[in-house]
Amino acid sequence: MKTKLTLLATLSILSCASHAADTAFYQITEIAGNKAGNYGPWPVAMAEDKSVASLAVTSDWFSYMNMAPMGMDLADRFRYMSGCTSQMSEDMCDSFWNGAANRALQWRKDTVTYSPQAESIVNGVSQGEQDGIIKALGATSDEAAGYRISTTSLDGKYHERQAIAVLNGQTIQLDPAQTLDGIGGFSSANTILSLGDDYVMVGGTSNTAITAPNYAFTYCYSGDTSTNGDYRFCPGFNTQASIWMVKRDASAATLATAPSYYKHDASVLELAAVTGLTADADGNYLAVGYSSTGDVGNSALYGRNVAVMWPVTVQDGTATFGALTLLPLPHGAPGEGDEVLENTWAVAANGNYVIGNQKFNYEGRNARNLPIEMFVYDRSKKTTTIPMSNKPFNGSNSEAVAMNKNGLVVGWRDERNESQAVYNGSPRMPEAFLYNATTGNDWRLNDLICSGTAAALSCEQNGKYYFIAYASAVSADGTIAATAYRYDSYEDWAARRGATVVPVALTPNVAFGDSHDVPSDYVLSNPLPASNVGQDNGGGAIPVWLLVLVAPFALFRTRKIFNKMS
């Protein structure tokens, strides 16, 4: 009897192993569009009709800041305040600052002596900063939000940044509560939510006043261009979380700002923003994002951000913020408890969950990596989990970016073989993920683009091989907008050689399960050939000559080929 059971179990296992996925779970479609910038394009938003907005830039400052390239935004200081030297080796930082043309030094020069740096590509059409950078899409590409930058300057250095909404081809400027004499204002939109036939709600940030002491504005827009860090005083304004109620005909907009910060401190640069909006069936609205705390210190540079949420009420076309609530994280808020976190921020919400990220500071660096970790807040249970903490290695990164109504979350994490420390070394390579907040299951998107069996994979699509690095948006049916590195052959893919950056849409070929999980038959392991090469055992830097070989794709670890897929 025992032998019979064992044999049946063995046959069952063999049957599962030999079962073939007739098609890849996700079909890859490249998103067309021309760009003038040197880096990108990277998808940043997707409309309900699957239109995608992408970003391209002229200079690479994301590598110096060790952040995802589509996260480049002067409004979000928490992404770039750490710079490079607190994270990576000196040689690596020098290379990222000025080791080649159009590195971080050029970005800084273009900030001080303003020169346009970014462009948006929507439905194949490109436009620059002065026409509008799109950060969010609504039902279609005709419903969008973002910002634009003025062609002129009132004071000869700062070119005013203005939030915008685009509705049915009409662009409306979304002003801050006040503008400053001889300077102008600062506003930016991050998210858009339809409220029916009459209004859309747009969330973002807008200035209150230049910080006291007021040298932050001067240092940001006319400070030095060295690595000493005057850019850390950007965006040069105090900002507050903001919501604009915009008429659908783009004829008018009404602004509401949050009434307070998490912890006000007039001596620090105070920043706050709405990054996500959601509504339930009963017409209750929730805004999520970040607010300011001064708990870390009392000079301009000691302002930090904490992940928060606000209830929002709407009446007669006007929005009103309720009192903010701190999203509870295991390590608390920056400057509190053991003070292990540098910044925390929320990015999206639905009726059940809020998602966001926490970043470690130097004192709490977590395996010498200062990682970013995704968090998931359960709104009904009022509990928070860190689902990918220290997985698969201590100090691993995982950054959440977007979530759909079913709780499917997308973002990026460390490539599965990355185990070397970042601190005093080099960046880790990102790999896109899909996570189900309801079941707690997660998948690397590169494991969902192959067909066949584990013993005989077929991962070629469109006659090319792809590595999915960043996932930026997810629709209600699970379609994902992502950034991929495309290779002409398997050998190039395995050797990380000759990549082309392409924005892609990943469309499900089969339905998700009832729980919105990926059916197990369609999960086929597709890792890169594994080898940590790029820093020695002592955490040394990647040599400059290697950076030259891999620029401009910021993929700084080469790998040996151990085997070849069938």
Nearest to 161 by CA among 192, 129, 122: 129
Q: Is residue 467 in a domain? A: yes
Q: Per-residue pLDDT averaged across 374-386, rounded?
A: 97
Give percent of the chain with pLDDT exceeding 90. Answer: 80
502 backbone dihedrals φ, ψ, rounded to 5°: -135, 135
Q: Distance between CA 235 and CA 426 in Å, rounded?
A: 27
User: Count of domains in the chain?
Assistant: 1
Q: Is residue 173 in a domain? A: no
Q: Per-residue pLDDT averaged across 230-236, rounded?
A: 96
Asked if residue 470 lies in contact with residue 384, where contact means CB atoms within 8 angstroms, the answer is no
Q: Per-residue pLDDT averaged across 433-445, rounded?
A: 98
Q: How many CB atoms lie within 10 A of CB 515?
A: 11
Q: Is residue 376 in a domain? A: yes
Give percent of the chain with pLDDT exceeding 70. Answer: 90
Q: Is residue 488 in a domain? A: yes
Asked if residue 321 lies in contact with residue 273, where contact means CB atoms within 8 angstroms, the answer is no
pTM of the model: 0.91
Q: Is residue 457 in a domain? A: yes
Q: 493-531: per-residue pLDDT in tens?
A: 999 899 999 999 999 999 999 999 999 999 999 999 865
pLDDT greater at residue 18 or residue 349: 349
Nearest to 546 by CA among 103, 91, 105, 104: 91
Buried residues in 179-201 as b, exposed as e (16+ CB within 10 A): bbeebbbbbbbbbbbebeeebbb
Domain span including residue 517: 22-29+329-566
Q: How many CB atoms lie within 10 A of CB 236?
A: 26
Structure tokens at 114: 């303003």
Mean pLDDT of the residues in the chain: 89
Nearest to 518 by CA among 458, 415, 446, 426: 446
Q: Is residue 10 in a domain? A: no
What pLDDT is recorded for position 422? 86
Q: Is residue 555 in a domain? A: yes
Q: Is residue 72 in a domain? A: no
Burial of 30 (0-12, 13-18, 19+ CB in 10 A): middle
Q: 465-476: per-residue pLDDT in tens?
A: 999 999 999 999
Q: Per-residue pLDDT averaged across 228-233, rounded?
A: 91
* Res 550 pLDDT > 60: no
Q: 239-274: per-residue pLDDT in tens?
A: 999 999 999 999 999 999 999 999 999 999 999 999
